[in-house]
Chain A
Amino acid sequence: MSDIKFSKDHEWVKISGDTAIVGITKHATEMLGDIVFAELPEKGSNIEKDSNVGVVESTKAASDIYTPISGEVIDTNRLIIDDPSKINSDPEGEGWFFKLKVKDPSEMNSLMNKEEYAKFSKESSS
């Protein structure tokens, strides 16, 4: 069973077993506008929760990507490097960013669930 959580930096993370998939939320893509560039962490690197691991650029501005949980990067999404518009069209599906081998599953507890994030994103954009 997978469990989806959200960070205050507008990333989502889905955990299944000891693997996590990370991307940015639909709300984030709506704030950013058309995304034209994405930079992802390197495969094999170990990344720490809340550290800056990548960048997305829209026609308007650059925005840092933070990892919501710690772990080893086991895969990155080539598709969004070649066609960043996939992030806008399907942010929580085809537009995923990277996969992690999770270091500490309890880190998920500090993240928001769907309802909490919906409330948070509504408040932060008003």
Chain B
Amino acid sequence: METQKTPLFNLHKKYGAKFVHFAGYKMPIQYKLGIIEEHNLTRSKSGIFDVSHMGQLFIKGNQELIIDLEKIFPINLTKLLINQSKYSFLMNDNGGINDDLIITKLNNGFMIILNALCKENDFQIIKSKLKNKYEMKLRDDLSLIAFQGPEAKHIFEKIILGSSKLKFMHGGEFIYNNQKVYISRSGYTGEDGFEISVSNKIVTSFVEKLIEHGSNLIGLGARDTLRLEAGLCLYGQDINEKTSPIEANLKWAISKSRIDSKYPGSERIKRELKEGVDKLRVGIKPESRVIARESTKIFDEKDNIIGKVTSGTFGPSVKSPIAMGYVSNGHTKSNTKVFLQIRGKKIPANICDMPFYKKNYMKEEANV
């Protein structure tokens, strides 16, 4: 398949982006400032992320659609309020995760934000599970922008009146330049912020407006360090079609009221909740400055292999290397000493709680 570009491609170039190929798209990994500076700007001020490669799936329907979607997703969609969003998964029959996603209830149906790599496949799976009963569309006429950081709400309120009143994981339709935009208070950085679904036609001027107000474009490189510090999973790396949400320590995302109902993989979820899991996703902090990258093997103190790293980087805000990965039962407690095999050496590290970096924002502050 030919490499695709997002509608912001020329703007990225204008701001000195270096590009990488990601999920079939040519995406900016960083701009002139570099990953660490971009990371720090997002934590201290604000940052703009082009995430238009992600899938924006809209499904039209009413009560019947809610019932049909609850057969697919392990969450309570009946109770979900209009314009409220939840994190969930598309699971396979073996209880593995085909994709992780954000689902939002709209007036006339649902919006589901999917990973770029999975969106086409997800579309086919959901379509066949819904038996073609509903009008559904992956909207490539819309871009998706994340606007994150402590200053985001102040800047955004100047541009779109009322946007700062949105609560965390709630959204709504707003007007910008006579065009409808859908804004939700959410993100993937551990910071307060917004995600904005906006027409391709006005996305460039919209992003330039944010830049005029003092914000900066941030690449996928910093997006990765930010999400890892926040303890958030990257699909394809930290979770995949084999790992279950319970192994991934994402139990919280499964609605309690849905545990006994049937959805793809529900048998495995029920069994794992009852009997426990063999391995669990944990945070890992190396004791030195060495970075444990994806696939680094993890050993216990007796030199038995107990797991492997799925994501690792240097955390610019925590100022040390950080990683996440899976370790077997008995080694998952915080402060457990482990060893990482890096370039032939065994580097001491400790299992730790996530997130690595935590800010007190969100629910209270989102009420301003």
Q: Does B343 contact A (CB under 8 A)?
A: yes
Residues on A with beta carbons closer than 8 Å to the beta carbon of B240: none
Q: How far is the CB of A62 from chain B (nearest CB, A)?
A: 7
One of B290, B313, B343 near A59 (C-beta < 8 A)? B313
CB of B34 within 8 A of CB of A37, answer no
Q: How far is the CB of B19 from chain A (nearest CB, A)?
A: 13
CB of A34 within 8 A of CB of B36, answer yes
Interface string of B213-233 (1 = CB under 8 A from A): 000000001000100000000
One of A34, A57, A81 near B34 (C-beta < 8 A)? A34
CB of A37 within 8 A of CB of B30, answer no
CB of B291 within 8 A of CB of A33, answer no
Q: Does B147 contact A (CB under 8 A)?
A: no
Q: Does B289 contact A (CB under 8 A)?
A: yes
CB of B221 within 8 A of CB of A37, answer no
CB of B35 within 8 A of CB of A60, answer yes
Docked complex: B28-47 residues within 8 A CB-CB of A: 29-30, 34-37
Q: How far is the CB of A70 from chain B (nearest CB, A)?
A: 22
Q: How far is the CB of B284 from chain A (nearest CB, A)?
A: 16
Q: Does A79 contact B (CB under 8 A)?
A: no
One of A36, A39, A55, A88 near B314 (C-beta < 8 A)? A36
Residues on B with beta carbons closer than 8 Å to the beta carbon of A57: 290-291, 314
Residues on B with beta carbons closer than 8 Å to the beta carbon of A85: 36
Compute how far the CA of A62 lies from the CA of B296 in the bound complex, rounded to whole angstroms. Answer: 13
Q: How far is the CB of A40 from chain B (nearest CB, A)?
A: 12
Interface string of B345-360 (1 = CB under 8 A from A): 0000000000000000
Residues on B with beta carbons closer than 8 Å to the beta carbon of A60: 29, 35, 221
Q: Does B297 contact A (CB under 8 A)?
A: no
Residues on A with beta carbons closer than 8 Å to the beta carbon of B307: none
Docked complex: A21-63 residues within 8 A CB-CB of B: 33-34, 36-37, 39, 55, 57-62
6 smallest CB-CB distances across A and B, nearest first, come from A36-B314, A59-B35, A34-B36, A37-B289, A57-B291, A34-B34
Q: Using a CB–CB distance below 8 Å, which chain B residues touch chain A?
A: 29-30, 34-37, 221, 225, 289-291, 293, 313-314, 316, 321, 343
A-B contacts, 13 of them at CB < 8 A, read A33-B30, A33-B35, A34-B34, A34-B35, A36-B321, A37-B289, A37-B290, A37-B321, A59-B225, A59-B313, A60-B221, A61-B293, A85-B36
